[in-house]
Amino acid sequence: MSAKNSTVELRQEKTWVSCVGDFAILKKFFAQKQGPIWYTMQLFEALLRGFGQVVFVNNPLGGLLIIVTWATVDPGTLALSVAAAVLGLLLSVVIREPRNIVENGLSVYNPVLVGSVSYVLIPQIYGAFDAFSFLLVFLGTILSVYLTRSLRSDTFACMTWPFNLVEIVLIFALSTQNGANELTKSMEPMLEKHNATSETTMTTMNSTGFYAESNDYVNWGMVFRGCVVSSAQVYGINNEILGAVIYLAMLMYSPTSTVFSFFGAFCGTLAGLQLGVDHDKVYNGIWGYNNVLTGSALGGNLFVLNGQTAAAAVMGIIFTSLVQYSLESIFINTQLSSVLTLPFVIATSFFFKLNNGKGDLTFPWPVPPMSFPEKQRHDYLMRQRKIPRKNLRSSFRMKRGRPKLIINDLSLNNMRNYNLALYGKQFSTFTVLRLNHLK
């Protein structure tokens, strides 16, 4: 029996390509190495993973691919992002973040966003960078690491909440300084009109307003560009080459989540057209980047993918577009001119709570250790197959003239309908209770 069972287990095991997914073989390699040089290399690997974790890519090769392409497209934004990422990584080590958090780059991606988005936003709401603005950016980076630790829990997905909270504070803090008058003047015509465009994810709204007045012609080639560039807009970059490379990095990590991400970008782009948003915002990916994140999060990363979670991912994508439309309508009258990734975190936080506990079979959460979506689903199905469902047996034994029911290997959660058939003679010695599971 043992030989037979081992053969079955070997058949159930699946071999994954080493360099795709989460590149687990590299983690095992560094785990066996000791010394300051190897520890530095391990931190560098965590830094690469952190750049990919912005779009749920836990793969150092994917992160490296994004960084190299980013350097050729917008080196200035990358420089500030790297500085913030290194600061966030070192701080997470100092405050003794759990090892799996550091190794997987989960303490890096919020600082990356703080650096990249601040590089785009600050010149527009404050002016040229100076010592004060740099000080606030690095202070915001430190705060994002602490907020990431404080918001993390088993029942709440932290995601980019720290980045949004910190960036909102930075926007209001800097807008009250020497650039406040310019910002107020630039917003006066915006309050009269209702239409605004944004060249990048985090740019301020200008006098062209929020809603499209008479822009009926749709350039479907530019719509496709909007879908592609949506992934780059997550980092605040309006470049289709970087967007295509990010999708490639996502494909290396998980084809499943990539499909949901691109589907999210497509749905968000179409939603922008249907809601009458200015077409320039749609063509520049402004209405797709939040949906990219929602699709990737709900499409296999935060949930084990099945029919129910796939449907929830689609509904979450739709809800994200509606939240973005509502927030932009509200923020148009405030100094907070960008929705950042608030639509994504709001929608995903609500849908993440569809799971009512660790035993929820409808919307199951992945079980640690975390991995990429395909492996998480495979491991989940293997665990489910090991749960006995048929031919469950128990026995009745006499104790002081009354039968005592003893049930062995019985999982009530997996039993729906069953019949009880009693065999024996007046419980003289023992009676077998047979449970026939009905499919």
CATH number at residue 237: 1.10.3430.10
Answer with the one of 353, 388, 405 that is the final residue of a domain.
353
Q: Across all residues in the chain, what is the average pLDDT?
A: 80
Q: Are residues 156 and 290 in the same domain?
A: no
Percentage of the chain modeled with pLDDT above 70: 74
What's the N-to-C CA distance of the chain in angstroms?
27
Whether 410 has a pLDDT exceeding 80, the answer reads no
420 versus 109: the higher-pLDDT residue is: 109
Q: Are residues 35 and 123 in the same domain?
A: yes
245 versus 12: the higher-pLDDT residue is: 245
Indicate whether 213 belongs to any domain: no
Indicate whether 74 belongs to any domain: yes
Q: Are residues 172 and 239 in the same domain?
A: no
Query: For position 46, what pLDDT does the model report?
Result: 95
**78: Cα separation from own chain's centroid:** 21
Q: Are residues 248 and 143 in the same domain?
A: no
Indicate whether 31 belongs to any domain: yes
67 versus 381: the higher-pLDDT residue is: 67
Mean pLDDT of 106-131: 94
Query: For position 17, what pLDDT does the model report?
Result: 64
Q: Are residues 132 and 259 in the same domain?
A: no
| CA–CA gap between residue 354 and residue 82 (Å, rounded) | 36
Which of 157-166, 374-383, 405-414 holds the top average pLDDT? Answer: 157-166
| CA–CA gap between residue 58 and residue 249 (Å, rounded) | 10
Whether 405 has a pLDDT exceeding 70, the answer reads no
Q: Are residues 155 and 291 in the same domain?
A: no
pLDDT confidence bin for 14, thresholds 50/70/90: low
Mean pLDDT of 70-99: 96
Indicate whether 109 belongs to any domain: yes
Q: Are residues 242 and 170 in the same domain?
A: no
Indicate whether 406 belongs to any domain: no
Q: Are residues 136 and 249 in the same domain?
A: no
Total domains in the fold of the chain: 2
Mean pLDDT of 146-159: 89
Q: Which domain holds residue 310?
A: 220-353
Whether 243 has a pLDDT exceeding 60, the answer reads yes
Q: Are residues 230 and 154 in the same domain?
A: no
Least Cα distance to 409 among 431, 432, 433, 388 occurs for: 388
Indicate whether 196 belongs to any domain: no
Whether 404 has a pLDDT exceeding 60, the answer reads no
Phi, psi (deg, nearest 5) at residue 246: -65, -40
Answer with the one of 329, 353, 377 that is the final residue of a domain.
353
Q: Are residues 164 and 113 in the same domain?
A: yes
Least confident window among 138-147, 195-204, 381-390, 399-408? 195-204
HEC assignment per residue over 111-129 = HHHHHHHHHHHHHHHCCCC
Query: For position 13, what pLDDT does the model report?
Result: 57
Q: Are residues 322 and 232 in the same domain?
A: yes
- Strands (DSSP E) along 158-278, which ranges? none
Least confident window among 46-55, 224-233, 370-379? 370-379
Q: Which residues contact 214 (CB under 8 A, 6 or more apart)?
A: none
Answer with the one of 353, 376, 395 that is the final residue of a domain.
353
Query: For position 287, what pLDDT does the model report?
Result: 96
259 versus 380: the higher-pLDDT residue is: 259
Q: Are 234 and 293 in contact (CB under 8 A)?
A: yes
Helix 220-233 vs helix 255-274: crossing angle, to nearest 10: 120
Indicate whether 169 belongs to any domain: yes
Indicate whether 192 belongs to any domain: no
Q: Are residues 257 and 126 in the same domain?
A: no
